[in-house]
Amino acid sequence: MELMERLDKITVKETKTSNFILPLLGFPKLFYQPFLVNAYLNNTDVNINNSYAIHVLVRFYSSPSYINLEEGIRDMDTYIDSYDLFGGKYIMFIIEIPDEFKPDFNKVISGKYSELSREAKRLILKGRPASSSMPQVLSKSSELKEYWEKKLGTSLGNQEVWPILNLRDEIFIKDEFPIKESLF
């Protein structure tokens, strides 16, 4: 099997950073496709002293559309740095959340999804399939609340209808990534 075929078969559990915080960079998640692997709040390999920086992992492809994505990211006013991983087959971009979305970032970290700004919600929802539960999460829908109350066997009261981030799940740990240097 070709290396690129093996890379295409690698899947990782999508983080809440990817779903809720990545769009706060000012672009919907769709902007990063089809190259986006995941986004993380932190990275054990890099020490960035910026609590508003996120780490965006993409697959490198030698194609004009990838080059356009990379140029678009590097042109962001809040772009900090990037480096390659796994023999250059992946690139990790480090980007700071723009000032206008820092209050939304803090709300996501606190699990207050329904309190996000209108613009943050618009960016998070843009390009999502009609079957996505994200609109229900962002509006704290009664249907989703009832579902979770029934499933959990308890009242949620006025709580959000989606779990808060587990910070451990939002950290990129190179040694735990499902690809090993030996593939290269």
pLDDT of residue 9: 53
- Sign of the CA dihedral with 104 first, then 106, 109, and 115 last: negative
Structure tokens at 137: 């999460």
Q: What is the pLDDT of residues 58-100, one digit of tens each?
A: 999 988 999 999 999 999 999 999 999 988 899 999 999 999 9
pLDDT of residue 182: 42
pLDDT of residue 13: 82
Q: Could you tell me the strand order of the sheet in which 90-96 lies?
A: 36-40, 53-59, 90-96, 79-85
Structure tokens at 56: 């965006």
Alpha-carbon distance of 156 to 141, in angstroms, equals 12
pLDDT of residue 8: 53
The four Cα atoms 3, 43, 23, 140 give a dihedral, to 10 degrees, of: 110
Angle, alpha carbons 52-101-12 (nearest 5°): 60
Structure tokens at 53: 């920086």
Name the one residue in this structure whose structure tokens are 């490198």.
60
pLDDT of residue 91: 95
pLDDT of residue 183: 43
Structure tokens at 159: 């709580």
pLDDT of residue 4: 47
Q: What is the 3-state secondary structure (H, E, C) of 4-21?
A: HHHHHHCCCCCCHHHHHH
Name the one residue in this structure whose structure tokens are 């030996």.
182
β-pairing verdict for 171-172 and 42-43: parallel
Q: Do residues 80 and 51 touch, judged by C-beta distance below 8 A?
A: no
User: Which stretches of the chain drop beneath a pLDDT of 70?
Assistant: 1-11, 179-184
Structure tokens at 183: 């593939």
Domain boundaries, the chain: 3-129+165-183
pLDDT of residue 6: 47
pLDDT of residue 184: 40
Secondary structure E strands in the chain: 36-40, 42-43, 53-59, 79-85, 90-96, 171-172
pLDDT of residue 5: 52
